[in-house]
Amino acid sequence: MSSQPQNVPVTILTGFLGSGKTTLLNRILREDHGHRIAVIENEFGEEGVDNELLMQNPDEQIVELNNGCICCTVRGDLVRILGDLRKRRDAGEIAFDRVVIETTGMADPSPVAQTFFIDDDVASNYLLDAVVTVVDSVHGERQLDEHREAQEQVAFADRLLMSKPDLSTEEQRERLRARLLRMNPRASVRTMNFGDAPIDEILDIRGFNLNAILDIDPDFLDDEEHTHSDEVTSFVFRSKKAFDPAKLEDFLSGLIQVYGPDMLRYKGVLFMKGSDRQTVFQGVHDMMGADLGRRWKPGESRSSKMVFIGRNLPRELFLQGLEQCLA
């Protein structure tokens, strides 16, 4: 996927029913924050943006708001609405420099994310920045226990925003935060109250930037004392030995053929035999991409670090297989 400057960055905003993402959306659409954001709202959202912000029209609409942002209600193909927005922008009819896409409360965000991998027109005009998930700090643990969709939304996140801190106890928030980080150690966790997370907290996260360095808090990876049997779990592979490129490519290709539907997000920075540069890779389900990263610094300790987030993945099979790919 191209990362040219003219590509419009896109944030996917997700969260379970009642989590508070609509409150956050409404603030984006009202606040004078200086950004020109096109918000694409899925019609199946539990509430939708405030009625007074939209014209009462049953058809699909693209509405320019007082603060310069744009709100679109999607009743069809996301590819088409992104194309329509681009054409109207190129024609000078509307102006925006960013896009935020809201998914429904019961939705798996992966089909939206995959749009930016598989459609050439979308990929050449838009740049997927990150998936941001809002989690209810009061009901979040129960939702994670009872709903697979809630777990998938956490698994896909590059940033997790815990809402309703005024209604939850510090103990609830700390317990939920620890659980979220065990499920998805690559995401940063923030707290927001009444949708007041700074706009910059959901923009320019660069979670899908192949040249971004993977950063995982090792303290949470080593914590095995938890009681939840979450379908969605994460694990990390680390090695100071170089990978054999051909062996690794064959192994990863085999993995995604068998386990692709359950491999929600995976990402890594790799030490490859015969290369003086880092290799960075990531994937969503069975779609995987890789690119050359920065050069290894003189005297720098070279190593590989990979994180896998998925549903009931056979951890030992993955880890042993990766060991076999080392040179």
Domain CATH number, residue 84: 3.40.50.300
Q: Give domain status of residue 12, yes or no.
A: yes
pLDDT of 40: 83
Same structural domain, 169 and 269? no
Supply angle C-alpha 271, 187, 175, rounded to 5: 130
- Between residues 309 and 230, the one the model is more confident about: 309
Residue environment code for 43-78, b if the CB has 16+ CB neighbours within 10 A, otherwise e: eebeebbeeebbeeeeeeebbebeebbbbbbbeeeb
> Mean of the pLDDT values across residues 94-111?
83
Q: Label residue 217 by pLDDT band (50, 70, 90).
A: very low
Residue 101 exposure: Cα atoms within 13 Å on the Cβ side: 27
Last residue of some domain: 184, 201, 218? 201
Q: Give domain status of residue 218, yes or no.
A: no
Same structural domain, 197 and 238? no
Q: Give domain status of residue 82, yes or no.
A: yes
pLDDT of 266: 87
Instruction: Transcribe 217-269 into DSSP letters.
Output: -HHHHT--------SEEEEEEEESSPB-HHHHHHHHHHHHHHHGGGEEEEEEE
In terms of pTM, does the model score above 0.85? no
**What is the domain-level CATH number for residue 316?**
3.30.1220.10
In angstroms, the CA 120 to CA 126 distance is 10
Same structural domain, 89 and 140? yes
- Between residues 56 and 11, the one the model is more confident about: 11
Same structural domain, 49 and 176? yes
Q: Give domain status of residue 281, yes or no.
A: yes
Q: Give domain status of residue 94, yes or no.
A: yes
Instruction: Kindly report the number of other CB atoms within 10 A of residue 241's CB atom.
Output: 14
pLDDT of 208: 78
- Phi (first) and psi of residue 120, to 5 degrees: -65, -40
What token pair was written down for 120? Answer: 């050439």
In angstroms, the CA 301 to CA 319 distance is 21
Last residue of some domain: 185, 201, 217? 201
Which range of 36-45, 115-124, 207-216, 314-323 scores highest in mean pLDDT? It is 314-323
What token pair was written down for 130? Answer: 């990150």
Instruction: Transcribe 131-197 into DSSP letters.
Output: EEEEEETTTHHHHHHH-HHHHHHHHH-SEEEEE-GGGS-HHHHHHHHHHHHHH-TTSEEEE-STT--
In angstroms, the CA 289 to CA 210 distance is 8
The three-class DSSP label of residue 101 is: strand
Same structural domain, 157 and 33? yes
Q: Give domain status of residue 16, yes or no.
A: yes
Q: Give domain status of residue 217, yes or no.
A: no
CA distances for 283 relative to 2, 255, 261, angstroms: 16, 12, 12
Instruction: Transcribe 7-18 into DSSP letters.
Output: SEEEEEEEE-TT
Q: Label residue 227 by pLDDT band (50, 70, 90).
A: very low
Last residue of some domain: 180, 201, 222? 201
Q: Label residue 115 by pLDDT band (50, 70, 90).
A: confident
- Between residues 77 and 94, the one the model is more confident about: 94
Lowest model confidence (mean pLDDT) among 62-76, 140-154, 292-306? 62-76
Which range of 75-79, 184-188, 195-199, 272-276 scores highest in mean pLDDT? It is 272-276
Same structural domain, 239 and 181? no
Which one, of 133, 181, 217, 202, lies nearest residue 309 by Cα?
181
Same structural domain, 193 and 262? no
What pLDDT digit, counting tens, does each position of 273-300 carry? 999 999 988 888 888 888 888 899 999 9
Q: Structurally, how many domains does the chain consist of? A: 2
Same structural domain, 137 and 195? yes
Q: How much of the chain is in helix, strand and coil states, percent to nearest 5?
A: 35, 30, 40
Q: Give domain status of residue 223, yes or no.
A: no
Q: Label residue 211 by pLDDT band (50, 70, 90).
A: low
- Per the structure, the complete domain to which residue 312 belongs is given by 231-324
Same structural domain, 59 and 175? yes
Same structural domain, 62 and 101? yes
Q: Label residue 50 by pLDDT band (50, 70, 90).
A: very low
Same structural domain, 130 and 254? no
Contacts of 163 (CB under 8 A, 6+ apart): 15, 19, 20, 23, 134, 135, 136, 137, 192, 193, 195
Same structural domain, 162 and 256? no
3-state secondary structure 77-96: CHHHHHHHHHHHHHCCCCCC
